Amino acid sequence: MHNTDPATAAADPVIRVEGLAKEYRVYDKPEGLAASIRGLFHRTSRVVEAVKGVDLEVGRGEFVALLGPNGAGKTTLLKLLSGIVTPSRGTARVLGHVPWERDDDFRRRFALVMGQRNQLWWDLPAAESFRLHQEIYRIEPARFQRTRDELVDMLDVRRLILQPVRELSLGERMKLELVAALLHEPEVLFLDEPTIGLDVVAQHTIHEFLRGVQQRRRMTVVLTTHYMKDVAALCERVVVITRGQILYDGSLAEIVDRFTTHKIVTLDFDEPPDQRRIEGFGFPCEVRGPQVILRIDRSRIADALPEILRTEGVRDVSVEDVPLEEIVAGLFRADRREAGAVGAAS
Amino acid sequence: MSAAGEAVRSAAPLQGLRTWWTMLSICLEERLVYRGDFALGTLMRFLPIVTQVFLWTAVFAATSRTDISGYTRNDIVAYYLLTMLTRAFSSMPGLAGGIARSIRDGSVKKFLVQPVNYVSFLLAARVAHKLVYYAVALVPFAGVFFFCRGYFPEPPDAVTVAAFVVALVLSFLLGFFMEATLGMLGFWFMEVSSIVFGYMLVQYLLSGHMFPIDLLAGVPSGVAGVSLADVVRWLPFEYTAYFPAAVWLGKVRGTQLVWSLAIEAGWVVAMAVACRVAWRRGVRRYSAFGG
């Protein structure tokens, strides 16, 4: 399956980033007409560090999620890797190329899909955009047809490719965007929030599709997302970015292991239980009718469970990890507190 | 380099042409979706000429002369009609604004990520735009020219017609590269509409759209022995309206015709280079700024 063994990854790194940093100069525009007029003559600017010294190595065939709160630098990192942005400092090689030199040989070997931007022609059927991609990526006709048919069938969108794109739903458009991006069989795929605004069914279809294509082609994928469902379904490796720096880089299993202190135990009773008895367990709890949700410290779970199960009236029990959303939100929060403390000190 | 690499390299120009052809055909399809009702719009374009014709009729009525700077009253009408035709080639509605918009809203990123050249893409789109326009505008244009055939002198000889066609094609390219370069300024300025407006104003005055450039022949430029018309001859503007019309009417002949065509071609090359430089520098700035 995926290759996340660091030793093998280092042997064949498709993406290698060292000390990559990007600063922007942004101009402050104060409110009000008078300030705007003053702004014509004198503008105050400040430097924003979107990415500060990132080191990252991604091996062939890895599926990596970039997670982080808004403004953490995820998209900037993706733009640096796809050559849209030149860095202020540091180096990067993608498939052996410097991305921001944008040579055609490099550009024929990767693809970038941004969830909110379309590369398909709005007024024409997607089949026409595909034809254009065949030309600009120089795909042999036989190969083009085979790849297109394969991708279109995997997503079950054959009936949509002859319809003008503007008539399609957001989910349908996203599927066709993905087909367009994968026609030239890129070795590296960058996805910026590919499931944004999509319903659960479309999200699921896209997950299945991406997993299928990625495994079949041994493609390297880097994705940014806010949906933990994307991460759980697709990525074994997670890179958490906050304030332009990597906070965590490791496997999904490890993130759960390292950043959770407790498990969630759900008890189903025959009838709403006595509140006092539940409180007697000594764990934070939440009662929802006949259902009780307890948060139990991981170190105590083995001792606590038998006792809890002896409680009268327990019909069912489940023990689960804290949801990924909560873990990641906790990580972001902790980082923000730290940032706040630093800010206050300086 | 390997033999396969050599083969790829030698096939590259042909490939480039094929890619361009595909872009053109797709742009054509796209234009045809929104062909709209150009026909009426085209007729409306001729309306301002009516005012010009009235104005010149009054001018000729007020003077005893039969010609002004070599133009008879009929010549003037024919001249304005011909500038309409040249402007159908050289004017580029929405080109600069569209480029600036693509920079502002970020859709230009596509051309950084994909192995395709933005300027050749724009050129294909514009050729498609023009072809569809001509297909629709052919009937009203033919109608107006037929209706006004009495104002035109005898059709010129084959060489002049050929020069006229070359001048028209070059005027298309010149108009394209000038406006595309203006659009690229969008990398530096958020909004280029006021720059485009300024350009249009200069263009209107110096292209011959407003009056034949020959009228400037007697106007001193400040340098002894050099008229304003001589100065304008060295600028790109008159080649987008005045020059092709003047060629058809036989106002530019012989070595002067060859010279003018050479100047026009020179400007096409210069503006194509300017456009490319603006694109490259703009992209460098854009990607430094953060895309």
Q: What DSSP designation does A196 have?
A: T
Chain B interface includes A89 (CB < 8 A): no
Q: Which of A24, A119, A136 comes nearest B289 by C-beta?
A: A24
Name the one residue in this structure whose structure tokens are 């304030």: A243
CB A3 within 8 A of CB A57: no
B contact test, residue of A75, A84, A114, A124 with most B CBs within 10 A: A84
- Work out the minimum CA distance from A153 to partner chain B, whole angstroms: 24
Name residue A287's beta-bridge partners: A292
Q: What is the model's pLDDT at position B187?
A: 94
One-letter amino acid for residue B16 of the chain: G
B contact test, residue of A20, A48, A138, A188 with most B CBs within 10 A: A138
Among A88-92, B9-13, B86-90, B246-250, the minimum mean pLDDT is found in B9-13
Strand pairing category for A262-269 and A291-297: antiparallel
Using a CB-CB cut-off of 8 Å, the residues of chain B touching A83 are 112-113, 287
Residue by residue, DSSP assigns A139-191 as --HHHHHHHHHHHHHHHT-GGGTTSBGGGS-HHHHHHHHHHHHHTT--SEEEE
Search chain A and give the residue with CA nearest B23: A132
Three-state secondary structure string covering B223-291: CCCCEHHHHHHCCCHHHHCHHHHHHHCCCCCHHHHHHHHHHHHHHHHHHHHHHHHHHHHHHHHHHHHCC
Share of chain B above pLDDT 90, in %: 55
Chain A interface includes B109 (CB < 8 A): yes
- B152 vs A340, B132, B148, CA distance in Å? 80, 27, 8
Name residue A54's beta-bridge partners: A20
Does A327 or B8 have the greater pLDDT score? Answer: A327
Q: Which of A22, A84, A136 comes nearest B109 by C-beta?
A: A84
Three-class DSSP category at A4: coil
For residue B147, is pLDDT > 50? yes
- A22 vs A61, B110, B279, CA distance in Å? 27, 21, 22
Range A281-298 average pLDDT: 81
Q: What is the model's pLDDT at position A340?
A: 67
For residue A66, is pLDDT > 90? yes
Range A134-160 average pLDDT: 95
What is the biggest distance separating any 2 CA atoms in chain B, rounded to whole angstroms? 78
A contact test, residue of B28, B114, B121 with most A CBs within 10 A: B114
Share of chain A above pLDDT 70, in %: 93
A107 to B19: CB separation less than 8 angstroms, yes or no: no
For residue B12, is pLDDT > 90? no
d(CA A202, CA A196): 11
For residue A284, is pLDDT > 70? yes
d(CA B61, CA B135): 39
d(CA B148, CA A92): 66
CB B276 within 8 A of CB B119: yes
For residue A6, is pLDDT > 70? no
* pTM, full prediction: 0.85
Q: What is the model's pLDDT at position B221?
A: 82
CB A254 within 8 A of CB A302: no
Q: Give the other-Cβ count within 10 Å of B228's Cβ.
A: 17
Angle of CA points B136, B140, B146, to nearest 5°:
140
Does A204 or A6 have the greater pLDDT score? Answer: A204
Q: Which of B29, B106, B115 comes nearest A108 by C-beta?
A: B115
For residue A345, is pLDDT > 50? no
Name residue A10's beta-bridge partners: none
Q: pLDDT grade, residue A341 (50/70/90)?
A: low
Using a CB-CB cut-off of 8 Å, the residues of chain B touching A137 are 114-115
Which A residues, 112 through 141, put their C-beta within 8 Å of a C-beta on chain B?
Answer: 112, 114, 117, 119, 121, 123-124, 128-129, 131-132, 134-138
d(CA B165, CA B171): 10
Packing angle between helix A170-182 and helix A200-217, nearest 10 degrees?
10
Q: Which residues contact A91 (CB under 8 A, 6 or more apart)?
A: A17, A18, A19, A20, A98
Range A59-70 average pLDDT: 92
Residues A278-284: contacts with CB within 8 Å, 24+ apart?
A281/A307, A281/A308
B29 to A128: CB separation less than 8 angstroms, yes or no: yes
d(CA B146, CA B148): 5
Q: pLDDT grade, residue B5 (50/70/90)?
A: very low
Q: What is the model's pLDDT at position A224?
A: 92
List domains and CATH numbers for chain A: 6-21+57-257 (3.40.50.300), 261-321 (3.30.70)
Q: Which of A84, A102, A135 comes nearest B18 by C-beta?
A: A135
Q: pLDDT grade, residue B203 (50/70/90)?
A: very high
Range A69-74 average pLDDT: 86
How do residues A44-61 score in pLDDT, each as one tens digit? 788 888 999 999 999 999
| Highest-pLDDT range among A238-252, A305-319, B235-249 | B235-249
Domain layout of chain B by residue ranges: 15-289
For residue B13, is pLDDT > 90? no
Does B97 or B17 have the greater pLDDT score? Answer: B97
> How does B249-276 read in b/e, with b if 16+ C-beta sit within 10 Å?
bebbeeeebeebbebbbebbeebbebbb
Q: Which of A82, A123, A137 comes nearest B33 by C-beta?
A: A123
d(CA A224, CA A222): 7
Q: Which of B33, B110, B288 comes nearest A119 by C-beta?
A: B110
What is the average pLDDT score of chain A?
Answer: 86
End-to-end Cα, chain A, rounded Å: 48
Residue A251 phi, psi (nearest 5): -80, 160
Q: Give the other-Cβ count within 10 Å of A303's Cβ.
A: 10
Judge residue B79's burial from the number of C-beta atoms within 10 Å of its C-beta, 0-12 exposed, 13-18 middle, 19 or more buried: buried
Among A23-37, B153-167, B243-257, the minimum mean pLDDT is found in A23-37
For residue A343, is pLDDT > 70? no
Nearest to A118 by CA among A74, A204, A179: A179
For residue A233, the number of C-alpha atoms closer than 13 Å in the C-beta half-sphere is 19
How do residues A239-253 score in pLDDT, each as one tens digit? 999 889 998 899 988
A132 to B22: CB separation less than 8 angstroms, yes or no: yes
Strand residues in A4-151 grouped as ranges (E): 13-27, 45-59, 63-67, 89-94, 110-114
Among A217-221, B6-10, B105-109, the minimum mean pLDDT is found in B6-10
Name the one residue in this structure whose structure tokens are 């090689």: A93
d(CA B249, CA B224): 29
Q: What is the model's pLDDT at position A3?
A: 44
CB B219 within 8 A of CB B136: no
| Highest-pLDDT range among A251-255, A315-319, B82-86, B177-181 | B177-181
For residue A8, is pLDDT > 70? no
How do residues B22-62 score in pLDDT, each as one tens digit? 889 888 888 777 665 566 667 777 777 788 888 888 888 88
Q: What is the model's pLDDT at position B48?
A: 78
Q: What is the model's pLDDT at position B35?
A: 61
Q: What is the model's pLDDT at position B36?
A: 58
How do residues B70-108 score in pLDDT, each as one tens digit? 899 899 999 999 999 999 999 998 999 999 999 998 889
Name residue A94's beta-bridge partners: A15, A97
Chain A interface includes B120 (CB < 8 A): no
Q: What is the ipTM of this complex?
A: 0.81
- Work out the minimum CA distance from A237 to partner chain B, whole angstroms: 25
